[in-house]
Amino acid sequence: MTSEVVENEFEFYSKAEKYWKDVPATVDGMLGGYGHISSIDINSSRKFLQRFLRDGPNRTGTTRALDCGAGIGRITKRLLLPLFKTVDMVDVTEDFLTKAKSYLGEEGRRVRNYFCCGLQDFSPEPNSYDVIWIQWVIGHLTDNHLSDFLKRCRTGLRPNGIVVIKDNMAQEGVIMDDVDSSVCRDLDVVRKIIRRAGLHLLAEERQENFPDEIYHVYTFAMR
């Protein structure tokens, strides 16, 4: 659990904020030098998401999505704006959100809100989102803050809405990364936190065709 590897919570968050302030506001910067995997990532995410957007009695709507840890809007631009009428973005780094306004181009007019905030302090507006997408950012939250944030996400969902987490998974336990001040959890730990937040897992999938040297990446859908 993060309580075993995060010695000072304030330092954990402030170090991460400082790290991201120095990262270039580019796709390559967002992906830690792995910008070339962006299309593989987006294509897999689109296939995963579309299974919930298909026709049916419990179909997830396409009115509004929230991009959490949005950075410059890589996911907003290529995954969410093509599928949803409007999108909101939240990120702790103001420079990234400023860059997003030019990076998103014309379609960026459909981004309703740019929230500059850490997820530990962010509350999605209740009953507002069809999809809350949380990618490569849960490692910047302690277990308690992640569980509490997911509870707030649950109240932010519209009927048949889903929360999606896509992130790195450790082989075993919880691993601290001192460089960007984040943790990487194993699958069991993440599933426990999801359950603790009162969410029910609908689907889980391992990302294919990523470089061998990086962590395994999994996508979870829940409500």
Query: Is 198 annotated as belonging to a binding site?
Result: no
Count the domains in the chain: 1
Q: pLDDT band at residue 4, thresholds of 50, 70 and 90?
A: confident
- Contact (CB, 8 A) for 114 and 83: no
Q: pLDDT band at residue 217, thresholds of 50, 70 and 90?
A: very high
Query: Is 119 annotated as belonging to a binding site?
Result: yes
Residue 3 has pLDDT above 80, yes or no: no
Q: pLDDT band at residue 51, thresholds of 50, 70 and 90?
A: very high
Residue 120 has pLDDT above 80, yes or no: yes
Residue 170 has pLDDT above 90, yes or no: yes
The single residue listed with the structure tokens 């995954």 is 79
Q: Are strands 86-91 and 216-222 parallel, antiparallel or unpaired?
A: unpaired
Query: Is 22 annotated as belonging to a binding site?
Result: no
- Distance of alpha carbon 125 from alpha carbon 130, whole angstroms: 12
Interval 63-117: pLDDT, tens: 999 999 999 999 999 999 999 999 999 999 999 999 999 999 999 999 999 999 9
- Distance of alpha carbon 217 from alpha carbon 139, whole angstroms: 13
Domain with residue 204: its CATH number is: 3.40.50.150
Interval 130-152: pLDDT, tens: 999 999 999 999 999 999 999 99
Please report the pLDDT score of residue 57 as a whole number. 85
Query: Is 50 annotated as belonging to a binding site?
Result: no
Q: Which domain holds residue 98?
A: 2-222
Please report the pLDDT score of residue 110 as a whole number. 98
Query: Is 95 annotated as belonging to a binding site?
Result: no
Residues 6+ apart with CB under 8 A from 11: 181
Please report the pLDDT score of residue 199 as a whole number. 98
Sign of the dihedral through C-alpha 184, 190, 192, 197: positive
Query: Is 74 annotated as belonging to a binding site?
Result: yes
Please report the pLDDT score of residue 2 as a whole number. 81
Q: Which of 75, 90, 84 is nearest to 50 (CA)?
A: 84
Q: Which of 152, 100, 87, 142 is nearest to 122 (CA)?
A: 152
